[in-house]
A and B are shown apart, each in its own frame.
Chain A
Amino acid sequence: MSSRKSSSYSVIVTKDASKEYHRGREVVVAIKNANLEIKEGEFLAVVGPSGCGKTTLLNLLSGLDSPSSGKVILDGIDTTVIDERLFPKLRREKVGFVFQDFNLIQDMTAMENVMAPLLPTDMKKKDIEKKALDMLRAVDLLERKDHRARELSGGEMQRVAIARALVNNPKVIFADEPTGNLDSKTGKDILELLKRLNEEQGTTVVLVTHNEEMKQYASRVIRLHDGKIEKGA
C-alpha cells in the first residue's frame, strides 16, 4: 500500500468568497470573506456547529453555488465566470459527492449507481462497467453489485456512494456529514474507507461535519463560526 502526501498544488483556492442570502428584507451573510487554499491530496475537515455555514461553504467550494462576491478557483477554473453549460462537465470530471442521505438512485442496482456518472460520457459500456467493478471492489462491495439500492444497508449504501464519487477519478471528494445517518461503528468504517482512499489514491477529501470526533481522520481542520473561518485554521 503506497501512502501519498498532499502536494504543493492548490486544487481549490477561494479569494474573499462571501455568500449572502435575502430573507425578505433581511440580508443573511452565510459565508464571510473566506480565504482558503486546499492542497491536492489533503484530507480537510470543515467543522462547526449546525447553521454556521458549513454546507454553504461546501456548495461554494464544489461549484454547486456561486459566491455573491469573491472568487472560487477549482483545479485552475474560476467557477464564478465559467459558462453555465460547462458545469455538468466540471462536476463530472473534477468533483465527487458523498451525501448524508446517500442519495443513491433507488431503482438502480449498486453497479448501475456507480456507473451513473459515466453514462453521459462517450466511454464504451465495457469500459464503464470495468471501472465500476474496480470501484466496487475498492469499497468491498463486489458481491452486492446486483442488489438494488433499497436492498442495501446504510453502510453499504454509503460505500456505493463513495464508489460512485470516485468512479470518474475526481480531483476532490466532498463529503457532507457522510456518517450522519449511520451508527457509530459503521460511521467509523466509512471514515476509515475515505481516509484509505485519500492515502492510496491521493484524492483530496473535503469533509463537512459537526462531529468533532471526526477531525482525527483529517490532515487539516478548519473551524467555521457564524460563516467565518476562524483564525489559526
Chain B
Amino acid sequence: MVKAGVRILFKSFRLAWRAQKRFWAFIVIYFILIFMVTGLLLSTNTLYILTGILGGLVVATLYGFLLTAFRKTEIATLKCIGWSNSNIRILIIGEILLVSCLAFLLFIEVGIHVSGLAFYVSGDPFKPLFFVPGSVQQVLLARNMLLPSFVTVVLAQIPGILLANYRILIVKPMEALRMP
C-alpha cells in the first residue's frame, strides 16, 4: 500500500498545480504568512510571537476548510470508486504540504535575490536597498529565523490538517449521488 500512497501523493501535487487560482493564491498567502511569522519571531515581544503563531493557525485552518469544502463532491465520488479515507487524506495533505513548501522556497528565493541585488549595488548584501524598506529587507534576510519560522508554520498546519481530516471522515459516499 506504500506504493499506492506515494502514487496518490504525486497525483495530489499534480492536481494542486492544476488548480491554478487556488494554488497560486495560497502560495502568496503562505508567503505573506511566513514573512509575518519571521518578522514577529525577530521581535522579542511575546505578544508579537503569539500573534504570528495565531495568524499561522488561522490561515492553515482556513486552507484546510476551503480545500475540503471545494472538494466535497469530489471526496464523495472518490469514496464511491473505492478510495479509503486515508487515500483521500494523502490527496488533501499533499496539496497543503506542496503549497507551504513552495511558499517557503519562494521566501528563501526572494531573500537571495534581495541580498544579491544589495551586494551588486553596494558591495554589502545586508545594506538596505533604497526601494526595499529596511525592516522588510531585515526580515527577508533573517537567515537564523528561517528554521524557526518554518517549524512554526508547519506546526500551525496541524489544526488545519485535523479539520480537513474530520471533514473527509464525515463526507458520505452516497452524497455523490445527490444533486449538488
Instruction: Give B17's nearest chain A residue, CB to CB.
Output: A107
* Total cross-chain contacts (CB, 8 A): 82
Bound CA span A133–B173, Å: 26
Interface size on A, residues (CB 8 A): 34
Are B79's CB and A88's CB within 8 A? yes
Dominant secondary structure at the A interface: mixed
**Cβ A58 vs Cβ B78 within 8 A:** no
> For residues 38 through 70 of chain A, which have their beta carbon under 8 Å from a beta carbon of chain B?
55, 58-59, 64-65
With CB as the reference atom, state the residue of chain B lying closest to A89. Answer: B82
Query: In whole Å, how far is A72's beta carbon from the nearest beta carbon of chain B?
Result: 14
- Is B15 touching A119 in the complex (CB atoms < 8 A)? no
Q: Which of A65, A88, A148, A165 contacts B84 (CB 8 A)?
A: A88
Which of B74, B87, B172 interacts with A120 by CB under 8 Å? B87
> Contact check: which of A93, A122, A148, A176 meets B3 at CB < 8 Å?
A122
Instruction: List residues 104-121 of chain A with CB under 8 A from any CB of chain B.
Output: 105-108, 112, 116-117, 119-121
Question: How distant is A165 from chain B, measured CB to nearest CB, in Å?
Answer: 8
Question: B7–A55 contact, CB under 8 A?
Answer: no
**29 A-B residue contacts at CB 8 Å?**
A55-B177, A58-B177, A64-B80, A64-B172, A64-B177, A65-B172, A65-B174, A88-B82, A89-B82, A91-B79, A91-B82, A96-B81, A99-B77, A99-B176, A100-B177, A100-B179, A101-B73, A101-B179, A101-B180, A105-B74, A116-B78, A116-B81, A117-B82, A119-B83, A119-B87, A122-B3, A125-B7, A165-B81, A168-B82
Q: Which residues of A contact B (CB under 8 A)?
A: 55, 58-59, 64-65, 85, 88-89, 91-93, 96-97, 99-101, 103, 105-108, 112, 116-117, 119-122, 125, 148, 164-165, 168, 176
Top 10 nearest A-B pairs (CB, nearest first) are A92-B82, A88-B84, A64-B174, A107-B18, A103-B77, A117-B81, A91-B82, A120-B87, A59-B174, A120-B4
Contacts A64-B172, A91-B80, A119-B87 supplied; 20 other A-B pairs, CB < 8 Å: A59-B177, A64-B174, A64-B177, A88-B82, A91-B79, A100-B179, A101-B73, A103-B77, A105-B74, A106-B74, A107-B18, A107-B19, A117-B82, A119-B7, A120-B1, A120-B8, A120-B84, A120-B87, A121-B4, A122-B1
